[in-house]
Structure 1
Amino acid sequence: MRKQKRTTSQPLLLPLILIFLFTTGFSPQPVAVPALQTETTDVITAGIAYLGTQINSDGGIRWFDDSSSPAATIRVVQALAAAGVDQDFLQSGSGNAPIDFLETAGVDWVNQQETDSPAFSVARAGQLLTAVAAANRNPQQFGIEEVDLVYPVVASLDPNTGIYGSATPENVTDQVWAMLGLAANAFSVPSEAAIWLAAAQLKDGSWDDGYGSYLDTTPLAVMALIASGDVAVDAPEIQSAVDFLMENQQPDGGWQSQWDTITNANTTAVILQAISSLGQPPVDESWQKADGDPSTALLAIQQENGAIGGDFANAYSTADAIVALSNQALFDLGYLMSAGQSIAYIVSQQAADGGWGSVGQTLDIILALHAAGWDPTTVTFSDNTPLDYLAENCAEYIAYGPDAIGKTILGVTAAGLDPTYFADLDLVAALNATYDETKAAFGMTDNTWHQSLAILGLNAAGESIPSDVVDTLLGLQQEDGGWEYSAGFGTWPDNTALAVQALLAAGETANSAAIQNGLGYLQSMLSATGGWGDSSTTAYSIMALNALGVPNSAWANETGLTPLSELFTYQKTNGAFFYNWEYTDDNLMSTASALLALFGEDFIITAADLDAAYAGLVIDPGEGAATTLCVPLEDESMSGLDLLIASGVTYSAPEGFIESIMDISNPDGGTNYWSYWQWNGNQWVFSNAGAGDTAVRTGSVEAWHFTSWVIFPSLAPDVVPNLSAMCETPVLKNFTEQPFLSFSDLYPDDLSVSIEVESVTTEEPAEGTASPSEPTNEETPAEVTSVEEPEASERSSLPYYLIGGASIIILIVVILILKKKGK
């Protein structure tokens, strides 16, 4: 093997965890190459059919024997996600899917309950987290007991060394899986962890798992480094690893271990996933060998029963191969990660004037940001906001007609502004001026977009909608149930989806003939791959389903493919969506529309409460119930100390130091103190500034956590806040303070905090100035919620058990050899 000097990459200073995707040396590629996708479709379909024969009644997947294997089941969940197949497509006779088995048995597996000495396993937790992300489940409330899988993995990090769990240079298993599991769920990985892993690379460019499985461990390490966001694809560590993999590649394009006589499906599949994470297609000439490439090597070893692998092909090897043949990496299978990539791409494209090149595109992006839970005015460039750009350019844009005016109203309303007075324009009056009572139409009578966007705009503005224009739109429906753009263009799903949303906004019921016929048309136009021919049309159609409350899984086809899974085949590795396979350039409009569809949104936007301004406050005593409060803001911002005062919570702060909150203080001889935190969108960040020096704005969430100063760094609050749930009203986030997405942003109905709000009454303060220990609350009383804290066994990692005894070691070696032969 060629020896290469090991170097350590420096962390990149990036505003978003996924922004590294734009610093690579490779051009962003679509997730699937059409020719390869066509060639592998039958192989993947047959592979999934085989996996269906390996499912037990509890939903678990068989591996070496007839028992349900959590490890194999994790790979099957990944495979279903990578192939775009609904997680409930594979079910046992008892109605259990693989993810159901993991929800039942996954946590016990992580805690190694099947062993004589149960202990929390960081590596197992990381593996399970990748499946949780792939299945779009909540990683902080997973399983029957709603266990937080993230907290113990984070707690296992030694901040001084960057090491997770018991990782060593001789065995990096805990490190790679902790990093992959966290990144898959959009949690940031400290740069120290990536630095340590890079430094653990061996001289030949490989990494070790303690058993000499260099070819299996090296691609996992590569993906972990890439997923961390701190290592670019052209970093020396990555290039050295690539060299190592290339030196061991076989003539057929695959890889095999010392135990194999032909291509090893697992090893080849994981390496192919690593190649995909680098932004390289499998057909890249650098991976071509005399008899094929990594993809053709996997295709060549599919068995007649659909299993992929050699003589010992099984569900594990088949699932790994399906993920690889889908040209995806195991950490990049969930919609939350995909959404984060798209948001990062959008932000990177913002111009200095605050917009995105045109008014139409800027409006699309404003709606997408709103759908993701952000206040669009907080996404800035050179101090310019998207609304600044609109104010400068919308006068010319709305001259195009009622569709342009209606869309502008949607964007302005989504930003929380008044459409009757924006940039010295009354957009509602301008829209109504395009209405012809004699023709009962906005703009052109036969134009579906004119009528639909006008109706949607009026609805967003809270204005009355002329009943006659609703009749006009109904009259434009064709015999096949669809709508044309205008007369003579022919029906198409995007026009139909827009008309359906407009009719719903105007009061048509979901079971009306027009709506049902429209749905029938959309169903008839659904392709074999689950979508509607291009990304924008597919996104618009999904938005119509969102408006009707139809779940994505309800439209899965006979092979399990869904509209959302089809939509994401148009996403590139840099997060951008392209229009279709003929026009594959990055497309901002397609990207924004895809995000609207993904976040379950539509064009039926309700007028925002222009005066609503709230911040959240969490008081976590460390043991027992935490308290969450919704605090109204009277001013544009206040300090963290003022937020505590406004909440009405009792506290004392002699000499400016918070000594007690809610009568909880450090006892004599104790080591506890009240630590101060800010929420960044998906996790808590310790504040190095004092509460009197911070700025709290609407959408901010802060916390006080009673914890020990002996533990460094201090433990974060074990509460996942959802401000909209806490306040019982939608509250938009500030992008500058909270640039990250969380599970509750993607699935707001699956709230991270159980809310049972009760009002807090405070006594009227006496006249005069209150001391810090006697806070006044002259504003609206906060709303408070008690959140039951998880059991201690769920929030702390168990000590690692050191495997001893010659018999146990021999057993492990035997299992490893069997695993190698089974790949």
Structure 2
Amino acid sequence: MLTAARLGAAALSAALLAGLAAGPALADSPSPTAAAIPDGLYGKSDPTYDGVWRQSLALTALTAAKVTPADSAVDWLTGQQCEDGGWPSYRAPGAACDPKTEDSNATAVALQALVAVGGHQPAVDKGLQWLKANQNADGSWAYNPGNPGDANSTGLVVNALFAARTDPASIAKPGTGGAAGKNAFDGLARFQLGCAAPADQRGAFAFQPDPAAGTLAPNTLATAQAALAAAGGHLPVASSVHADATAKPLACADGSAPATVPHAEAGEAVSAYLAAQLGSGDGHLTLTTPGAEPKPDYTATAWAALALVQSGHPDEATDAVDWLEGQGATWTKNGTDAAATATLLLVGQATHRGDAALTGQLTALGPAPKAEAASTTATPAKKKSDGIGQFWLIIVGLLIGVGGGLLLSLQRKRNPKL
């Protein structure tokens, strides 16, 4: 939980950010070859690889915080959409769309942002059509179309389908011979470890099956991001009704367990796996990269917390949220990393820990929202009200003076010595 001292420090940081919003030192210093930061975009670092991602998260988080983003911020996101409906990670001003650069992740989070903001149904419909057109035959999605699917991308697309009120079970490529194809839930299920896996791995997601053996191995970020989809959620995550005190591990009976995890059990199974991982990891998940020292995975921990809340187990997310808040300044680079700041804010909102200072930090990383612009135009009315107040103050003062004079005159009549 945030202590009073940390709240004060965060508020001070937000105030400084608000006063220096136009300064170049607010975020990571871009590399010498970094693209110029477009107007309307949140964050000051090079947007080449995450422009649409961080913009979408920022718009989603701020809208959930009851902040109305500037038109320029929303226009920037809609302006990144290609004619065929997909989004690239980033498209430089004036650059033509290249279908090879459009990706499912950017498209999925952009759709969730536009649904949250509202009023952009044509763009949402085009994005949905792009996702449908680029679904693999096995029901999954790849980062870039034409490649094998992966759990992260498939999970994010399922999130977008839920946000757009589209049943993932209805999204499927036609099968051979007119048969029904694999739907989005089928695509997600092919990455989840079931009863054939060791007990402590059941419910986890692999990024992709092993190319040679087809086996599945748990992947931290894939599990955390796919879990929200398995639990039937999307961004922003609203607190759900409490389920059982602890998530139930996948029930496996010898000789009768299905080859894949049934969709009805997928969310609970991955929640049990994540809760166990967080419990053994002091409240956070760990990133393990071959040849590198293990280190805390902030992003995976945040998505795990969101998934646990969505699945009805917010209590099991408490330690993770506490850990994220304690590490917030490091992860968000003191509120200057737009994607991290937005994600942390989304976690706080889902767990009823809305942070005004964090909202202020994120707001300061982009154009002034409409609410601030409205307060500026309201200044003349405030001055008029102040003038009326001063007028009445003068009248009251005069009345008091007149009354005092009359009282003194009466007293002198009664007592000539006065």
**Could you state the TM-score of these two structures normalised by the residue count of structure 1?**
0.24
Higher relative contact order (CA 8 A, sep 6+): 2
**Could you state the TM-score of these two structures normalised by the residue count of structure 2?**
0.44
Q: Whose helix proportion is higher, 1 or 2?
A: 2
